[in-house]
Structure 1
């Protein structure tokens, strides 16, 4: 149930706080999730390489797309929704323990409307800006970092989703 609530929350945030980047006003078409960035990044897979793009750190399948239609609707299917729990080890400032569970239960889809005003895209209450073939959505403080006992949130990080226009 927590995973469904988290997925619904992320989808709601996506619809209400998405910002996009493109030089022309071409938003219609399919946008593929290409980055799932966390500000300073982490080495979740333990290979010694820190990545901001968590898609490079975990083995969960990602098929998430956004589809912008000419009739002003945007839809999403196959929402990427891993459950990543991060804990800071006691007495350290940058040593973490990670628990990653890929979403194998199903997908959460959504449909909404959007409008374009110049190079800005309005999706529900969110404002997006077109710039080339990328679309970036920032979710402030969406990633929680817990203490080692998982009893308290000791820090938060922004999550930045980046989509690429196909």
Structure 2
């Protein structure tokens, strides 16, 4: 009887542990990631507290509740996507001073997309490459933000958008 019980436990353990895929263990991106930084490398003081920050999340008046969820089937999804409309203009007769205003998105924005794991520390989704290192996901969206001249009639440059998430 003891041998039968031992054998039954051994078989049950085999099925329990074989249900875990190697991909789940090797894919560090699987899980939920909360948005921690959203930057275009321009110091702003949108909330008027006299403190400037390049991390828009420290200055925004918009709700920030974005969480990316990566599953084991290669799908990344987000509800409450942080996506303010930024209006940025280089101030006249300056080379590094900007007028920055934001318009918060109304309602709830979200998305779902496929992602691919590239090596041990990189993922790709929506034509962007992300780097995963120790519970930190970093993405760079090339030329994502338009900078206008002082009267908003012409795009004079673009800025990359740097986004950082932390695993929860």
How far 1:25 moved relative to its partner? 4.3
Q: Corresponding residue for 2:21?
A: none
Q: Corresponding residue for 2:165?
A: 163
CA RMSD of aligned residues (A): 2.1
1:59 aligned residue (58, 61, 78)? 61
Q: Which moved more, 1:28-37 or 1:88-97?
A: 88-97
If the length of structure 2 is used for normalisation, what is the TM-score? Answer: 0.74
Instruction: State yes or no: 1:123 paired with 2:125.
Output: yes
Bigger radius of gyration: 2
Q: Corresponding residue for 1:30?
A: 32
Distance 1:40 1:98 in 2: 9
2:108 aligned residue (106, 109, 128)? 106
The one-character-per-residue Cα deviations of 1:103-129 (angstroms, maximum 9, x if unpaired) are 113313223243353333243654433
If the length of structure 1 is used for normalisation, what is the TM-score? Answer: 0.75
Work out which structure has the larger RCO, using CA pairs closer than 8 Å and 6 or more positions apart in sequence.
1
Q: Specify whether residues 40 and 96 from structure 1 end up closer, same or farther in structure 2 by C-alpha distance, changes over 3 A only.
A: closer
Does the aligned pair in 2 maintain the 1:145–1:155 contact within 8 Å? Answer: yes
SS of the residue aligned with 2:83? coil
The one-character-per-residue Cα deviations of 1:37-84 (angstroms, maximum 9, x if unpaired) are 112432333433221100111110011111111222221211111111
Q: Which moved more, 1:29-38 or 1:127-136?
A: 127-136
Equivalenced residues, count: 143
Q: Which moved more, 1:89-98 or 1:66-75?
A: 89-98
Does the aligned pair in 2 maintain the 1:41–1:51 contact within 8 Å? Answer: yes
Gaps of 5+ in 1: 1-23
Gaps of 5+ in 2: 1-25
